């Protein structure tokens, strides 16, 4: 039984990190597409907002906004379950692919939201996977482009949100 005490409130934006089990081989580009399909499936079924994301070889980050009564725990559990089924089918394996725990933090204000988004988008650059964030297809970076054609080509369209008054100031 988990001893982590999670915030049970909803209607907050959460920065989430989910790690691949350490003993597993890193994720591939084809597997990134499966993870994004899983996030989309869960988003359609559960009705949460996706405000940003990045997929990396051994983990992923996202900014989620679940609406009451959906909790961040239920949301992440669903994505992990759906993506594990798809990835196991692709890999010809069985069992858990993601570490049991995940890391989450609710975003307290607009600056923190922007800081987390920037952190995610620069993650592939810091890891040496690309030289510039726009070169990494597996993040929401291009969703913020001023060019409509660039935004339309993104593998997943994020939800553009107006932060509530409680996030400002």
148: domain CATH number is: 3.30.70.1290
Could you tell me the CA-to-CA distances from 90 to 31, 77, 100 in Å, in that order? 8, 20, 21
CA angle 99, 139, 69 (to 5 degrees): 60
Rounded to an integer, what distance in angstroms lies between the CA atom of residue 159 and that of residue 149? 17
Q: Is residue 130 part of a domain?
A: yes
Q: Is residue 1 part of a domain?
A: no
What confidence score (pLDDT) does residue 168 get? 67
Q: Is residue 81 part of a domain?
A: yes
Q: Is residue 49 part of a domain?
A: yes
Counting residues of the chain whose pLDDT is more than 70, the rounded percentage is 93
Do residues 138 and 155 make contact, with C-beta atoms less than 8 angstroms apart? yes
SS (H, E, C) 46-83: HCCEEEEEEECCCEEEEEEECCCCCCHHHHHHHHHHHH
In the structure encoding, which two tokens stand for residue 24, read together? 């597993």
What pLDDT, in 10s, does the model give residues 48-103?
999 999 999 999 999 999 998 999 999 999 999 999 999 999 999 998 899 999 99
Q: Considering the entire predicted model, what is its pTM?
A: 0.90
What pLDDT, in 10s, does the model give residues 117-167?
999 999 999 999 999 999 999 999 999 988 999 999 999 999 988 777 777
Residue among 46, 68, 32, 20 at smallest CA distance from 140: 32
In the structure encoding, which two tokens stand for residue 169, read together? 């100031």
Q: Is residue 2 part of a domain?
A: no
Q: Is residue 5 part of a domain?
A: no
Counting residues of the chain whose pLDDT is more than 90, the rounded percentage is 83
Number of structural domains found in the chain: 1
Domain with 25 in it: 14-167
């Amino acid at each position: 039984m988990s001893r982590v005490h999670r915030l049970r409130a909803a209607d907050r934006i959460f920065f989430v990190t989910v790690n691949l089990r350490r003993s597993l081989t890193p994720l591939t580009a084809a597997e990134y597409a499966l993870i994004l399909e899983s996030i989309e499936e869960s988003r359609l079924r559960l009705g949460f907002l996706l405000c940003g994301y990045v997929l990396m070889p051994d983990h992923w980050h996202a900014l989620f906004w679940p609406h009451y009564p959906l909790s961040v725990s239920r949301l992440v559990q669903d994505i992990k379950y759906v993506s594990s089924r798809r990835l196991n089918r692709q890999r010809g394996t069985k069992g858990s692919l993601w570490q049991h725990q995940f890391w989450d933090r609710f975003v307290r204000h607009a600056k923190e939201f922007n800081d987390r988004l920037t952190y995610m988008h620069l993650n592939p650059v810091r890891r040496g996977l690309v030289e510039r964030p726009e070169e990494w297809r597996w993040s929401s970076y291009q969703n913020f482009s001023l060019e409509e054609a660039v935004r339309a080509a993104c593998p997943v369209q994020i939800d553009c949100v107006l932060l509530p008054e409680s996030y400002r100031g």
